[in-house]
Amino acid sequence: MPTNKAAVIGTGYIGAAHIEALARIGVQIKAVADTNIGNAEVIAGRYNIKGTYQDYREMLENEDINSVHICTPNNMHYEIAMAVVEKKLNVLCEKPLSLTAEQSAALCKEAKRNSVLGAVNFNYRYYPAVQHARGLIKTNGIGKINIVIGNYLQDWLLYDTDYNWRLDPKVGGKSRAIADIGSHWCDLAQHVSGLKITDVMADLLTVHKERKQAKGEMLTFKKADADAEYTQIPMTTEDYGGVLVRFENGARGMFCASQVSAGQKCRIRLELYGSDSSLSWDHGDANSLWIGKRDGNCETVTKSPVDMNEQGAAMAHYPAGHPEGYPSVIKNMCLDFYNCITRGKESGTLPTFEDGYCQNRIVEAILESSRRSCWVRVEN
């Protein structure tokens, strides 16, 4: 892809994953920006990237690029994405697209007005087994979908000494477990089933009403230093959310999102029950898809670029028996994004700004449902 020239803003753990993916697919990275210029310089050195900036605006002024990856904390997404689309550059933004549905609606409008492609990193779509499931459903492989259930569980916020910018509502947003990881589940459920979530009924819990913030920067998934000095911080965002959901075809479902489930590191699981058969995918065994049958034997489809259906095979780059994991799905997403730019049209797999906006509306409906203890309709 010689014509694409990218810049990456934010060089924390997910920024580094984008940079690695771009290097793998051969998109030229012209510059990186980070308020922590030391981080930007280290990663630029590793990948031989020429431009390093502390101020992303300066980078947008100076660099000859056609795309920008936004990998900063959540509260920066809106301002940066707006600046990028106003410069008529394509943008791949980390989730959430912005902190509110109102801001995301404005971004969708502005991206359209400037004829640029806007995408949001709902990366779990890009596992071969997930796309195989979507392909099966598209060809009516499991019959009418009646039930969709699952969860997304983590444990990196189990202790009250676990702290990070995501816990500050001004930086991370008003919702945490639901917006940070529940949104991945909702996106996956909608993308694979092809059905929109129309109503939600939620029950949220903040396990730690206060947390101890250690001095200095704490990266996501990192443990606090045992000798650290702490400040006590009141918590307003949820550690856990249980949500009943209804889909546009009348299907029912439920999911829970938790960041305080010991032993569960990154456990996203989706189960779909149709009138003919069932599908189950679990991130813990990401290269497999279980197909459940009432009559005859159940099957497990394993990742294979030759034996999977067209949608699954398109995401598999190594032979069967060679697992493809998290870095490969970021790579698949970047490939999809740049192919869409080159072809000048969306692929159907790419999570767009519209999908990011949709997740803001679901998250806001979930917060309202929990506040009012009732079913809330998602604006669609």
Binding site for ligand SOE (CB under 6 A): 154, 180-181, 184, 220, 266
Gap between the Cα atoms of 204 and 175, Å rounded: 10
Q: Compute the least distance from the CB of residue 362 to ligand SOE, in Å.
A: 15
Beta carbons within 10 angstroms of residue 310's beta carbon? 10
Q: Compute the least distance from the CB of residue 220 to ligand SOE, in Å.
A: 5
The closest alpha carbon to 316, from 337, 306, 301, belongs to 306
Amino acid, single-letter form, for residue 240? Y
Gap between the Cα atoms of 363 and 50, Å rounded: 39
Amino acid, single-letter form, for residue 182? G
Q: Compute the least distance from the CB of residue 67 to ligand SOE, in Å.
A: 20
Beta bridge partners of 28: 5
Nearer to ligand SOE, 114 or 220 (CB): 220
Q: Compute the least distance from the CB of residue 197 to ligand SOE, in Å.
A: 18
Contacts of residue 62, defined as CB under 8 A and 6 or more positions apart, other chains included, come to 31, 51, 53
Nearer to ligand SOE, 117 or 181 (CB): 181
User: Which token pair is 120?
Assistant: 């949001």
Q: Compute the least distance from the CB of residue 179 to ligand SOE, in Å.
A: 9
Amino acid, single-letter form, for residue 62? N
Beta bridge partners of 120: 93
What does the angle CA 118 – CA 361 – CA 283 come to, to the nearest 5 degrees? 75
Looking at beta carbons, which residue is closest to ligand SOE? 180
Task: Let me know: does 198 contact 248? Beta carbons within 8 Å.
Answer: yes
The closest alpha carbon to 17, from 266, 316, 332, 341, belongs to 332
Q: Compute the least distance from the CB of residue 147 to ligand SOE, in Å.
A: 25
Beta bridge partners of 246: 199, 252
Q: Compute the least distance from the CB of residue 14 to ligand SOE, in Å.
A: 7
Q: Compute the least distance from the CB of residue 184 to ligand SOE, in Å.
A: 6
The beta-strand segments (E) located in the chain are 5-9, 28-33, 51-53, 67-70, 90-93, 118-120, 145-153, 197-205, 210-214, 230-234, 240-247, 252-258, 267-274, 277-282, 288-293, 299-302, 376-377
